[in-house]
């Protein structure tokens, strides 16, 4: 069965430093998608970055990049030049299912990131 | 601005009450989802729907039911609320995988059952 694992319940990083949030996944489907979401204290889920299983290059979106290592089944999020506003809960998620009635998003347990001055 | 709207931000209900959580999307998405979020457990899928009047069980459907009478509206129903259903509930919608696109989430409903 598909599964997402985030082993870091909490992380601290100093402002302007880079931080890596870990995510490993398990699936037997060759076609899947990996997502990272940010959830500030206000509760909304903010989409950050997406990586498809067949994408040749690692995804990047501004200060966010996804370190995709397919053989190791890992999809770590790298945030460069951390800002105080990056303090939030971060969720890794996987989309598995190519047919319309099996498409769903499975989440990890999340990592709470705190950025300090 | 396209979005997913959940009718209540905070809700307090009594044990045994029937509770309706409403979710409406204006993006003409086929798929809609209900998750609950608990500390240390992340988001867990309760039910999802890929078409009007269609529904599929997620990982934790017990104690819940859903209704999708119109494409834009997906309701989560707690038939007889219990204290262990106190949680944050998040609704989301998406296009079919073949049409690309990601998921859009509502702001969440924090339900307390007393």
Residue B25 Cα distances to A29, A48, A107, B28, B95, angstroms: 29, 21, 21, 7, 12
Residues of B contacting chain A (CB within 8 angstroms): 30-31, 33, 35, 40-45, 48, 50-51, 54, 56, 58, 88, 90, 92, 94, 96-98, 102-103, 105, 107-108, 110
Chain A residues within 8 A of B44 when measuring between CB atoms: 107
CB A2 within 8 A of CB A104: no
Whether B31 and A103 lie within 8 Å, measured CB to CB: yes
Q: What pLDDT score does A99 carry?
A: 59
CA gap B18, B63 in Å, rounded = 11
Angle at B24 between CA B18 and CA B30, to 5 degrees: 115
Length of chain A: 117
Q: What pLDDT score does B2 carry?
A: 60
Whether B97 and A100 lie within 8 Å, measured CB to CB: yes
Considering only CB atoms, A109 lies closest to which of B31, B40, B92, namely B40
Q: What pLDDT score does B20 carry?
A: 97
Query: How many Cβ atoms are within 10 Å of B109's Cβ, its own excluded?
Result: 23
**Which parts of chain B have pLDDT scores under 50?**
none
> The tokens of B3 are what?
């979005």
Give the gyration radius of chain A's Cα atoms.
14
Strands (E), A15-109: 19-21, 24-26, 32-39, 46-52, 60-61, 64-69, 74-79, 88-96, 104-107
Q: What pLDDT score does B89 carry?
A: 97
Whether A44 and B98 lie within 8 Å, measured CB to CB: no
Using a CB–CB cutoff of 8 Å, tell me whether A35 touches chain B: yes
For residue A37, give the nearest of B101, B46, B105 by alpha carbon.
B105
CB A25 within 8 A of CB B81: no
Q: What pLDDT score does A87 carry?
A: 98
**Which parts of chain A have pLDDT scores under 70?**
97-102
CB-based contacts of A32: which residues, under 8 Å, 6+ apart? A2, A25, A52, A53, A94, A95, A96
Q: Do strands A111-116 and A10-14 pair parallel, antiparallel, or not at all (unpaired)?
A: parallel
CA gap B75, B67 in Å, rounded = 5
Q: What pLDDT score does B102 carry?
A: 73
């Amino acid at each position: 069965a598909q599964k997402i694992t985030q082993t870091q319940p909490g992380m601290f990083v100093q402002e302007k430093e880079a931080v890596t949030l870990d995510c490993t996944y398990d699936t037997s489907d060759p076609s899947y998608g990996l997502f990272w979401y940010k959830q500030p204290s206000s509760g909304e889920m903010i989409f950050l970055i997406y990586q498809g299983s067949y994408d040749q290059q690692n995804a990047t979106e501004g200060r966010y990049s996804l370190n995709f290592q397919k053989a190791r089944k890992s999809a770590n999020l790298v945030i460069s030049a951390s800002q105080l506003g990056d303090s939030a809960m971060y969720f890794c998620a996987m989309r598995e299912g190519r047919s319309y009635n099996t498409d769903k998003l499975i989440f990890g347990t999340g990592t709470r990131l705190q950025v300090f001055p | 601005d396209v979005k997913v709207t959940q009718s209540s931000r905070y809700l307090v209900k009594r044990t045994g009450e029937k509770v309706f959580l409403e979710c409406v999307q204006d993006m003409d998405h086929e798929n809609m989802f209900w998750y609950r979020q608990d500390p240390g457990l992340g988001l867990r899928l309760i039910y999802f729907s890929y078409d009007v009047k269609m529904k599929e069980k997620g990982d934790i459907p017990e104690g819940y039911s859903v209704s999708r009478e119109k494409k834009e509206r997906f309701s989560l129903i707690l038939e007889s609320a219990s204290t262990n259903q106190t949680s944050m509930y998040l609704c989301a919608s998406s296009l079919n995988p073949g049409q690309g696109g990601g998921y859009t989430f509502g702001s969440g409903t924090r339900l307390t059952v007393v």
